């Protein structure tokens, strides 16, 4: 199965959903919670990508992680960290609100 076929399959089973379009006209897709059960290989790849990307941002000093009383992680990002996270596909942001223009 090629990438296009995989994408169509994941969309058809609800593991991926179309969530919008970026400022360049590229489609933005989200991996849904349904992927955990319906496409575990996709979910594992997604988790691995997110974890590796967050560690990379942390190592570069672009994010700060603290924990609340319930040991839930609170991630704070610099503006540069927000740009990098968006480029990595980690977050969707309204460009006018979340990332100042340089």
Q: What is the pLDDT of residue 44?
A: 95
pLDDT digits (tens, 9 = 90+) for 25-76: 888 889 999 999 999 999 999 999 989 999 999 999 999 989 999 999 898 9
Q: What is the pLDDT of residue 87?
A: 84
Identify the DSSP state of 21. E
Tokens of 17: 């959903």
Q: What is the pLDDT of residue 45?
A: 93
Q: What is the pLDDT of residue 88?
A: 86
Long-range contacts of 27-30 (CB under 8 A, 24+ apart): 28/92, 30/92
Q: What is the pLDDT of residue 95?
A: 40
């Amino acid at each position: 199965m090629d990438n296009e076929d995989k994408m169509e399959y994941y969309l058809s089973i609800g593991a991926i959903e179309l969530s919008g379009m970026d400022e360049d006209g590229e489609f933005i897709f989200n991996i849904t919670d349904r992927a955990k059960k319906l496409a575990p290989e996709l979910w594992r790849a997604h988790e691995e990508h997110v974890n590796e990307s967050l560690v990379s941002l942390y190592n570069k000093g672009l994010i700060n992680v603290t924990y609340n009383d319930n040991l839930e992680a609170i991630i704070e990002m610099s503006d540069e960290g927000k740009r990098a996270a968006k480029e990595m596909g980690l977050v969707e942001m309204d460009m006018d609100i979340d990332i100042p223009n340089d």
